């Protein structure tokens, strides 16, 4: 049994997420997805729209996903050591080489693969938010600023 681990924020589920998880699943028999905890999202990206547990439930309901868990704040390798993946599937824009180096330094033998890019119209959460703003007229009310 080959266990694959994928990870992400998954704040607004979209086709880019689905394609990523579908491809990740092809690398093994079981797909475990780590959903970033709220504190990590706030520190690295933005204020999450949905709380971590709601994001986890939505991800776990997706067909390719066997199990979804919430990651820990701080040491990202703690959850990797618990899941013990054979393969870690990264998104197309993540850095494989650095992760491989860090895994080896921690004695974690997982193989790291990069999933392909999906170029759909709404393949990123920020694109979806921008489209909603444009359609709702929020840009005129907010002086065209991005939030």
**pLDDT, tens only, 39-53:** 999 998 888 889 999
Q: Where are the beta strands (DSSP E) in 9-130?
A: 30-35, 67-70, 87-90, 111-114
Domain-located, residue 53 = yes
Residues spanned by the domain of 95? 3-117
Mind listing the pLDDT tens digit for each residue in 62-84? 999 999 999 999 888 999 999 99
Strand partners, 113: 89
Say how far apart CA 41 and CA 23 lie, in whole Å.
24
How far does the chain reach from its first CA to its final CA, in angstroms?
44
Integer angstrom CA distances of residue 90 from 87, 103, 127, 132 = 10, 14, 20, 28
Q: Domain of 93: which CATH number?
A: 3.40.50.620
Q: Give mean pLDDT, residues 9-29.
A: 93
pTM more than 0.75: yes
Residue length of the chain: 147
Q: 87 to each of 13, 64, 129, how far by Cα in Å?
A: 23, 15, 32
* Residue 124 within a domain: no
Q: What percent of the chain has pLDDT over 70?
A: 85
**What is the C-alpha separation between 119 and 138, in angstroms, rounded?**
26
Please, which pLDDT band fits residue 117 given cuts at 50, 70 and 90?
confident
d(CA 4, CA 12): 22
Q: Is residue 17 part of a domain?
A: yes
pLDDT of residue 98: 85
Whether residue 27 is contained in a domain is answered as yes
Total number of domains constituting the chain: 1
């Amino acid at each position: 049994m080959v266990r694959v681990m994928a990870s992400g924020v998954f704040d607004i589920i979209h086709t880019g997420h689905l394609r990523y998880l579908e491809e990740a699943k092809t690398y093994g028999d079981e797909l475990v997805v780590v959903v970033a905890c709220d504190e990590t999202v706030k520190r690295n990206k933005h204020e999450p729209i949905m709380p971590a547990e709601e994001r986890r439930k939505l991800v776990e309901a997706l067909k390719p996903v066997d199990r979804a868990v919430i990651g820990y704040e701080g040491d990202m390798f703690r959850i990797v050591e618990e899941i013990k993946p054979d393969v870690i599937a990264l998104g197309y824009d993540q850095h494989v080489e650095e992760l491989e180096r860090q895994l080896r330094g921690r004695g974690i033998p997982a193989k790291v693969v990069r999933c392909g890019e999906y170029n759909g119209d709404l393949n990123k959460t920020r694109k979806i938010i921008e489209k909603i703003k444009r359609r709702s007229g929020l840009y005129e009310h907010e002086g065209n600023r991005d939030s």
